[in-house]
C-alpha cells in the first residue's frame, strides 16, 4: 500500500519539476512512512514518485518506482493484488526472474507479457501508473470498484496525478492549473448528496480516474480513456432470467464460499492484520468466517459510546453486539470510546485528510480507531460494501420501487436558500438510471455503487491511510460482487421486505437471529447534540463566511434557527450546517490557502 504521484509535462524538463514531486510526496507521507522514491526520464518529461507502506515483502526489494520487462516499464503502484501468489508460478515456469516477493513485480511481469489484458486476471484493489519507455505512453489504471483513489489535474500542457488531491497542491500553488477553482457546476449535486459522483470533482480542473478505467497518455499528449471493467455492462450480462426460480440454499452456499475465500486472500500479508468490528451484521460475519480458518486470536477494534458521550441517545452504541462476537470468536478486543472533545479535536485533521468535503460524521471515528489500531496492525478487514452490493439500506425495502434521490440529504427546496447553485442536474445518476435493467432494486444497487459507495470508499481509504493503515473489504471482491449481481430481487430484498436477505440468511449460521434482524444502526454519532455545543464542535460554525457561491442571508437565518429551536432528524438544521461547514473548511484548505488549517 502506497501513495503515488507523477506527471506528464509537455514543455518543462524533469529537473525543474523534482522539487514539486518532493513537496507532493511530503503532503502524502502518511500513506507510506516506510520508504519513498522518485524516477524521471529526459528528454520525455515524465516523472513517477511514491511513498510506501510495506505490507508484502517488507524488505528494500519492494522499493518503488520499480522497473521491469527488461527495463522497458516503470511503475508506481498503490494497493494489493490479493491473488498475486497464484499468478506468480505460471510466470516463473516461463523463466521470468523475480527479485522480490511483491505483488508489484508480478503486475509488472504480467503487463510485459499481456499488456492491459492482464487486468482481468487481477483480484484486488489498486491504482497505478505505468510508463512504457519504448512506446512513450503513460498508463493510469484504477480497480474495478474504485476502492483505491486516483485523481488527475490537467492544465496548460500538463497532467499531474496522485492518490490524493493534496499531492497536486505544489503545482496548483505555482499557478500551473488555471482551473484550480470551485467547480460550481457540481455544487448543487454536493448540496443534495454531500458528495459529487462520477468523473468530476469540486475542483474544476481535477478529475477522478473512474472505477475500472484505463487512461493512456501518449507522447503528443493525446489521451484515451476506456473501461477495462464495465460495471454497467457486467450487471446487464449477469441479470438473471426473471422467470427462473430462486434457489436460496444454492445462492447462500455460493456467496458464503466466495466470501470465505475473499477473506482468506485478504489475510495474505507480511504485516499484522486485524478487524474493524462494528457489531453490525457484515463485520460480524467477516469476523466469524475468518475465525474458521485462523485458530489463533486476532485483534478487533470497535467504537463505543458511554452514556454521557451519547448525550442520552440509546440508538448509536453497538458495543453489546461487537462484544458478543468478540467473545464468541475469542478475539483480542479493543473497545475505543469516542468522546465529544476528541471528535472536535480531530475535525480539522480529518477534513484535511479527506481531500473532498467530509460527508460522514463517522469519518472521524474511522480515523480514530485506525490510529489506535496502527501500533498493533498495519491492515484491517471490515464489512464495508455489503450494504451497497446486496441492498442493505432501508430504501431498498420496496424492491419494486426505484428511488433516484436515494441518499439525498437535502432537496433543492432546502438547498437553494443556502447556495447559488447553477444547476441541480445529476448527469451521472441519469446515465446509470437509463440502464435497461429489468429489476428496480438491481438498478438501484448499480446506482449506489456508482455514487454513494464511492464516497464510502473515499472515507475508508483517506481516514485509514491518514493513520498509515490499510483497510481491506472482502465484500468488494469482484467475485462476491458478481455473485450479488446474479441474484434475483428476492435474494436481495425478501418478499417480506427484509433487506440484504441472502447475507442475513448466511449470518444465521453464526449469530442469533435477534442480532441479525434488529434495527440497523451503522456507525453513528450524536452530531445534532455535539454541534449544539458552542464550546466544542459548535464553535467551528464561526468559520462560515461570505462567498460568491453562498446565500449568506439564508445561512444567517439557519444559524439563528439552529441556536433558538430544537432540531429534527429529517432535513435537520444541524445536517445543513454540517454540509456548509465542511464545504467552507474544504474550500479554505484546498482552494484558498492550499494547506491545512489549525484549530486556532
Q: Residue 432: pLDDT above 70?
A: yes
Q: Which residue has the cell 504485516?
A: 271
Helix (DSSP H) and strand (DSSP E) numbers for the chain = 23, 17
pLDDT digits (tens, 9 = 90+) for 179-195: 999 999 999 999 999 99
Average pLDDT, stretch 583-598? 96
Is residue 125 classed as helix, strand or coil in its secondary structure? strand
Q: Residue 92: pLDDT above 70?
A: yes
The answer for 545, left when phi > 0, alpha when psi is -120 to 50, beta otherwise, is beta
- Rg for the chain (alpha carbons), in Å? 23
How long, in residues, is the chain? 600
Is residue 309 classed as helix, strand or coil in its secondary structure? coil
pLDDT for 57 equals 66
Identify the helix (H) or strand (E) that includes residue 116: none
| CATH 3.30.420.40 assigned to 2-229 | no
- Are 128 and 4 spatial neighbours (Cβ–Cβ below 8 Å)? yes
User: What's the pLDDT band for 214 if we cut at 50, 70, 90?
Assistant: very high
- Are 383 and 145 spatial neighbours (Cβ–Cβ below 8 Å)? no
Is residue 538 classed as helix, strand or coil in its secondary structure? helix
Identify the helix (H) or strand (E) that includes residue 2: strand 2-9
Average pLDDT, stretch 366-394? 95
Average pLDDT, stretch 268-293? 92
Pick the residue with more confidence: 292 or 570?
292
For the chain, percent of residues with pLDDT exceeding 70: 96
User: What's the pLDDT band for 316 if we cut at 50, 70, 90?
Assistant: confident
pLDDT for 309 equals 65
User: What's the pLDDT band for 12 if we cut at 50, 70, 90?
Assistant: low
| DSSP codes of every residue in 55-83 | -SS-SGGG-SSEEETTTTEEEEEEEEETT
Q: Residue 600: pLDDT above 60?
A: no
pLDDT for 407 equals 80
pLDDT for 524 equals 75
Average pLDDT, stretch 268-275? 90
| DSSP codes of every residue in 162-219 | ESSGGGGHHHHHTT--TT-SB-GGGHHHHHHHSS--SSB-SBTTEEEPPTTEEEEE-T
**Could you tell me where the beta strands, DSSP code E, fall in 338-469?**
379-381
Q: Residue 568: pLDDT above 80?
A: no
pLDDT for 306 equals 79
Q: Residue 44: pLDDT above 80?
A: no
pLDDT for 238 equals 97
pLDDT for 173 equals 96
Q: Helices 340-354 and 363-373: crossing angle, nearest 10°?
A: 90
Q: Which residue has the cell 464510502?
A: 456
| CATH 3.40.50.620 assigned to 234-399+439-523 | yes
Name the average pLDDT for the chain: 92
Average pLDDT, stretch 59-82? 91
Average pLDDT, stretch 24-29? 97
- Are 39 and 6 spatial neighbours (Cβ–Cβ below 8 Å)? no
CA distance 245 to 340: 51
pLDDT for 13 equals 61
pLDDT for 293 equals 78
User: What's the pLDDT band for 522 if we cut at 50, 70, 90?
Assistant: low
Q: Residue 132: pLDDT above 90?
A: yes
Average pLDDT, stretch 214-222? 94
Average pLDDT, stretch 500-517? 95
pLDDT for 427 equals 84
Pick the residue with more confidence: 140 or 69?
140
Q: Residue 315: pLDDT above 80?
A: no
CA distance 362 to 223: 38
Per-domain boundaries in the chain: 2-229, 234-399+439-523, 533-592
Q: Enter the C-alpha cell of residue 265.
A: 486472500
pLDDT for 1 equals 66
- Are 395 and 364 spatial neighbours (Cβ–Cβ below 8 Å)? no
Amino acid at each position: 500500500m502506497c501513495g503515488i504521484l507523477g506527471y506528464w509535462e509537455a514543455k518543462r524538463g524533469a529537473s525543474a519539476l523534482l522539487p514539486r514531486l518532493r513537496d507532493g510526496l511530503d503532503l502524502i507521507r502518511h500513506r507510506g512512512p516506510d520508504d519513498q522514491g522518485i524516477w524521471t526520464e529526459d528528454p520525455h518529461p515524465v516523472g513517477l514518485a511514491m511513498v510506501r507502506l510495506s505490507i508484502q515483502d517488507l524488505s528494500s526489494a519492494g522499493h518503488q518506482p520499480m522497473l521491469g520487462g527488461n527495463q522497458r516499464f516503470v511503475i508506481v503502484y498503490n494497493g494489493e493484488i490479493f491473488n498475486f501468489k497464484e499468478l506468480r508460478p505460471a510466470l516463473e515456469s516461463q523463466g521470468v526472474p523475480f527479485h522480490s516477493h511483491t505483488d508489484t513485480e508480478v503486475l509488472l511481469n504480467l503487463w510485459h507479457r499481456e499488456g492491459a489484458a492482464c487486468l482481468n486476471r487481477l483480484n484486488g484493489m489498486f491504482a497505478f501508473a505505468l510508463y512504457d519507455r519504448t512506446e512513450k505512453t503513460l498508463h493510469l489504471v484504477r480497480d474495478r470498484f474504485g476502492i483505491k483513489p486516483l485523481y488527475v489535474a490537467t492544465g496548460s500542457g500538463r497532467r499531474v496525478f496522485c492518490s490524493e488531491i493534496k499531492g497536486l497542491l505544489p503545482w496548483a500553488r505555482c499557478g500551473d492549473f488555471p482551473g484550480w477553482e470551485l467547480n460550481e457546476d457540481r455544487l448543487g449535486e454536493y448540496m443534495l448528496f454531500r458528495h459529487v459522483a462520477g468523473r468530476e470533482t469540486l475542483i474544476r480542473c481535477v478529475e477522478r480516474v473512474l472505477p475500472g478505467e484505463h487512461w493512456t497518455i501518449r507522447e503528443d499528449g493525446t489521451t484515451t480513456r476506456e473501461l477495462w471493467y464495465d460495471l454497467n455492462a457486467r450487471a446487464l450480462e449477469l441479470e438473471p432470467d426473471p422467470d427462473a426460480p430462486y434457489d436460496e440454499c444454492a445462492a447462500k452456499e455460493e456467496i458464503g464460499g466466495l466470501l470465505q475465500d475473499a477473506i482468506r486472500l485478504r489475510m495474505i500479508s507480511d504485516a499484522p492484520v486485524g478487524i474493524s468490528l462494528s457489531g453490525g451484521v457484515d463485520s460480524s460475519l467477516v469476523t466469524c468466517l475468518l475465525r474458521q480458518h485462523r485458530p489463533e486470536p486476532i485483534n478487533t477494534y470497535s467504537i463505543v459510546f458511554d452514556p454521557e458521550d451519547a448525550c442520552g441517545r440509546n440508538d448509536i452504541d453497538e458495543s453489546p453486539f461487537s462484544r458478543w462476537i468478540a467473545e464468541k470468536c475469542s478475539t483480542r478486543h479493543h473497545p475505543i470510546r469516542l468522546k465529544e472533545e476528541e471528535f472536535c479535536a480531530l475535525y480539522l485533521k480529518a477534513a484535511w485528510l479527506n481531500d473532498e468535503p467530509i460527508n460522514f460524521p463517522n469519518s472521524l471515528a474511522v480515523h480514530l480507531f485506525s490510529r489506535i489500531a496502527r501500533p498493533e496492525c498495519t491492515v484491517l478487514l471490515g464489512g464495508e460494501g455489503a450494504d451497497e452490493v446486496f441492498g442493505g439500506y432501508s430504501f431498498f425495502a420496496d424492491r419494486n420501487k426505484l428511488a433516484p434521490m436515494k441518499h439525498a440529504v437535502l432537496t433543492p427546496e432546502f438547498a437553494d436558500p443556502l447556495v447559488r447553485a447553477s444547476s441541480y442536474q445529476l448527469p451521472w445518476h441519469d446515465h446509470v438510471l437509463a440502464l435497461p435493467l429489468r429489476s428496480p432494486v438491481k438498478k438501484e444497487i448499480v446506482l449506489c455503487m456508482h455514487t454513494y459507495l464511492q464516497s464510502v470508499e473515499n472515507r475508508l481509504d483517506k481516514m485509514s491511510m491518514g493513520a498509515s493503515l490499510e483497510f481491506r473489504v472482502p465484500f468488494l471482491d469482484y467475485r462476491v460482487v458478481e455473485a450479488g449481481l446474479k441474484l434475483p430481487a428476492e435474494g436481495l430484498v425478501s418478499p417480506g421486505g427484509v433487506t440484504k436477505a441472502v447475507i442475513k440468511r448466511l449470518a444465521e449460521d453464526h449469530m442469533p437471529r435477534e442480532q441479525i434482524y434488529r434495527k440497523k444502526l451503522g456507525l453513528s454519532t450524536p452530531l445534532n447534540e455535539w454541534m449544539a455545543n458552542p464550546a466544542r464542535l459548535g464553535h467551528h460554525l464561526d468559520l462560515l463566511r461570505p462567498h460568491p457561491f453562498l446565500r449568506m442571508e439564508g445561512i444567517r437565518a439557519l444559524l439563528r434557527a439552529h441556536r433558538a429551536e430544537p432540531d429534527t432528524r429529517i432535513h435537520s438544521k444541524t445536517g445543513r450546517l454540517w454540509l456548509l461547514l465542511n464545504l467552507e473548511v474544504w474550500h479554505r484548505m484546498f482552494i484558498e490557502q492550499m494547506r491545512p488549517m489549525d484549530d486556532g
